[in-house]
Chain A
């Protein structure tokens, strides 16, 4: 079945789909044949995954990931269970890779030296609930080794940045989800790290707050920081960055800009299984569609369509079955990795297209 992964290099592990087109100014470039994302591609990578795999017992969480990240914003998208959080935890030194290495500025991510440069905003919602927001930030700064005066100064500045300066004296247990998210971001910024790992930072944030966060992220990226932002919401990430890494089944399925990934999907026809009582009529109608490159009839009442430009194909398909009054009893994409990419590129529903 078609696979977005480069089958010629599959024996060397995960060789994700990487765009070789001329990058836009300041955009992604590729170095040493490895997926590389971020501005200033010639600078050494801030975060480097080298053939990294991680198992949870018999289940593989991350599968042969090789990725270099440089200053700039990189979106990390993928379905639930794709391995995003595992990848981020490997980057922040909370997990050991079973195979391969993870390095931050050349240091092993597990080491304290690497954590000097990493600010982590986790997706969990746990705090020292008895503390106020300000006290929590100051505590995180003091655990970093700053004096109390310096910790207070930094905490105040970070609270201003995330818009919590006026509400920092309340206890954390009384905060809303969005306020807690802001505090998490503030503690990640308090030591001015070069690498920011943000796991679902926009979760629970109202639309106005999201806009403020997006402005902040862009400002941080303009200061030569590397931001890795994991999110389910591709639309939000598209407003922020054009560089995304798509994860599926523990692997980096694609790295590049969203439009380039979409274009490349066109070069890899998607296989779709469709079941219908009027298979012959459906097949005749589908062959007239410009995006359909092939069609096979299977046993029973199903057929397999190979189509380019999935977004447009599904839109046309919807109109087609309505016009022809054809009942569709089954619809399934047969290419898992493309399905994962497809699901997110088509609006963030990993089950898009599945009945």
Chain B
């Protein structure tokens, strides 16, 4: 090893150093490193693939409407068959003009069947599948890795030994995960809706702001878990299954502790603004109005972020063996 030149003379502070530039570089570096696929991300992508395939098959079979539903359930005629039977019954006498009353009923029945696709898609895909399950899982797949991934890989020391305040590091990590977290959630939701035909496309137009708000809150929450726990993905999965999927669908006020509840309230608000009726009875679901839901989701996002900054600034991270 040649040491041709002496080491630079010691100076009180390094030259041409910018803390903001360092912070921006950390955002960019973290954004790049989030792209490295890890186990949870692969699981999220597999779930996306499976959900997309399921929806595509049902769309191709035209099963989003209620036309093929049977009454009595399971063995009776389909709703479409019932409608056709009623329609034929109004045209029994040749040349006789159909009366306005039965035709109006049939027209309304027809309209309801035509619109049913959107509500079936909303109920089964958006509320029960995406909101209760996919959205939390997709959010945590990136959000828990921002801090938790650095700790698990043993690379936290490189960040903590830099002259950057810990809240700034936490904030940079959050900003860096947003493109991926929001991209997967909104992009994944968009893909599911795209293959859902017209019901899905209408659902995307109506629901994407709510998905955005819910994604921000979930990412902020799971990012906080990454700072608090050594195995944040496990904690986040437990939260997702028990709070979001189970408690979030319970009757009464218990569901108000879940982020998915407020996201669903925003979705209901967007349906009402289009003059459509709610798929669930308000007396059972007990929703809050859209403004309240927006405020709560935004407040939770900021609250989790601030708490995370405080926690991260105090916690000592020991090497994980």
User: Is the CB–CB distance between B319 and A120 below 8 Å?
Assistant: no
B3 in complex: contacting residue of A127, A139, A161, CB < 8 Å: A161
Binary contact track B145-157/A, C-beta < 8 Å → 1, others 0: 0000000011101
**B9 within 8 A of partner (CB):** yes
Residues of chain B touching chain A, judged by Cβ–Cβ distance below 8 Å, are: 1-11, 13-19, 21-22, 25-26, 29, 33, 36, 153-155, 157-165, 314, 316-317, 319
Chain A neighbourhood of B17, CB < 8 A: 144-146, 191
Contact present for B21 and A145 (CB under 8 Å): yes
Establish whether residues A144 and B163, one from each chain, have CB atoms under 8 Å apart when the complex forms.
Answer: yes
Instruction: Return the CB mask of A220-258 against B: 1 if under 8 Å, else 0.
Output: 100111000000000000000000000000000000000
Contacting pair A118 B29 (CB below 8 A):
no
Enumerate the 5 nearest inter-chain pairs by beta-carbon distance, A residue then B residue, closest first.
A126-B154, A163-B1, A145-B22, A145-B17, A212-B1
Could you tell me if A143 and B25 are in contact, using CB atoms closer than 8 angstroms? yes
CB-contact partner of B10 in A118, A147, A225, under 8 A: A225
Contact with B along A176-207 (1 / 0, CB 8 A): 00000000000101011010000000000000
Known: A128-B155, A145-B17, A162-B1. A223 touches B10 (CB 8 A): yes
Residues of B close to A348: CB separation below 8 A = none
8 contacts between A and B (CB under 8 A): A112-B164, A142-B25, A144-B162, A189-B7, A212-B1, A223-B7, A224-B10, A225-B10
List chain B residues, Cβ under 8 A from A128.
33, 155, 158
**Cα distance A256–B162 when bound, in Å?**
31
Instruction: List residues of chain B with CB within 8 A of the CB of A124.
Output: 154, 157, 319
A285 interface contact, C-beta 8 A? no
A215 touches B33 (CB 8 A): no
Known contacts A116-B163, A224-B10, A139 near B29 by CB under 8 Å: yes
* A92 vs B317: C-alpha distance when bound (angstroms): 13
Chain B CB within 8 A of A264 CB: no
Whether the Cβ atoms of B163 and A96 lie closer than 8 Å is no
Contact between B7 and A220 (Cβ–Cβ < 8 Å)?
yes
Given A139-B29, A144-B14, A192 and B161 contact (CB-CB distance below 8 Å): no
Q: Which residues of B contact A78 (CB under 8 A)?
A: none
A219 to B6, CA, bound (A): 8
Chain A residues within 8 Å of B158, by CB: 128, 140, 143, 187
Is the CB–CB distance between B162 and A219 below 8 Å? no
Chain A minimum-CB-distance residue to B158: A140
- Option from B10, B25, B160, B316 in Cβ contact (under 8 Å) with A194: B10
A287 at the binding interface (Cβ < 8 Å): no
Q: A116-B163, A146-B14 are in contact. Are A95 and B7 (CB under 8 A)?
A: no
B11 / chain A contacts, CB cutoff of 8 Å: 192
Give the chain B neighbours of A192 by CB distance below 8 A. Answer: 7-8, 10-11, 14
Distance in angstroms from A337 CB to nearest chain B CB is 27
Contacts of A194 in B (CB 8 A): 10
A residues engaging B (CB < 8 A)? 92-96, 112-113, 115-116, 118, 120, 122, 124, 126-128, 130, 139-140, 142-147, 150, 157, 160-163, 187, 189, 191-192, 194, 209, 212, 215-216, 219-220, 223-225
Q: A146-B14, A212-B1 are in contact. Are A94 and B19 (CB under 8 A)?
A: no
Which of B7, B22, B26, B161 sits near A94, CB closer than 8 Å? B161
Which of A143, A150, A209 counts the most B-chain CB atoms under 10 A from its CB?
Answer: A143
> Is B16 a contact of A147 with CB atoms below 8 Å?
yes
Q: Give the interface centre of B1, B9, B15 by most chain A CB atoms within 10 Å.
A: B1
Shortest beta-carbon distance, A111 to chain B, in Å?
8
Which residue from B6, B14, B25, B161 sits with its C-beta under 8 Å from A92?
B161
B20 to chain A, nearest CB (A): 8
Given A94-B316, A143-B29, A161-B7, A112 contacting B165 (CB threshold 8 A):
yes
Q: Which residue of A lies closest to B155 (CB)?
A: A126
Tell me the complex Cα distance, A194–B22, Å.
Answer: 20
B29 CB to nearest A CB, Å: 6
Whether B153 lies near A126 (C-beta < 8 A) is: yes
Residue numbers in B under 8 Å from A127 (CB-CB): 155
Expressed in whole angstroms, the Cα–Cα distance for A118 and B11 within the complex equals: 13
- Which of A118, A191, A216 has the most C-beta atoms of chain B within 10 angstroms of its own C-beta? A191
| Distance between Cα atoms of A219 and B316 in the complex (Å) | 34
Whole-angstrom distance from the CB of A132 to the nearest CB of chain B? 14
> A93 to B36, alpha carbons, bound, how many Å?
29
Q: How many whole Å from A238's CB to the nearest CB in chain B?
A: 22
Minimum C-beta distance from A194 to chain B (A): 6
B161 and A120: CB pair below 8 A? yes
Please determine whether A94 and B1 come into contact, CB atoms closer than 8 angstroms: no
Q: When the two chains form the complex, which single residue of A120, A157, A223 contacts B9, counting CB atoms closer than 8 Å?
A: A223
**Distance in angstroms between the alpha carbons of A130 and B10 in the assembled complex:** 32
Give the contacting residue for A122; candidates B1, B157, B164; CB below 8 A. Answer: B157
**Which residues of the other chain, B, contact A157 by a CB distance below 8 angstroms?**
5, 8
Chain B residue contacts of A146, Cβ below 8 A: 14, 16-17, 21
- Residues of chain A with a CB closer than 8 A to B14's CB: 116, 144-146, 191-192
Distance of A319 from chain B, by nearest CB (Å): 44
Question: Could you say which residues of chain B place their CB within 8 Å of the CB of A224?
Answer: 10
Task: Report the separation of the CA atoms of residues A150 and B14 in the bound assembly, to the nearest whole angstrom.
Answer: 11
Shortest beta-carbon distance from B242 to chain A in Å: 29
- Do A143 and B10 form a contact, CB below 8 Å, given A124-B157, A124-B319? no
B179 CB to closest chain A CB, in angstroms?
19
Q: Identify which of A96, A115, A142, A189 contacts B161 (C-beta below 8 A).
A: A115
In the complex, A127 Cα to B16 Cα: how many Å? 26
Q: Would you give the shortest CB distance from B309 to chain A, in whole angstroms?
A: 14
Q: Is the CB of A96 within 8 A of B316?
A: yes
Considering the chains assembled together, what is the distance between the CA atoms of A215 and B7 in angstroms?
12
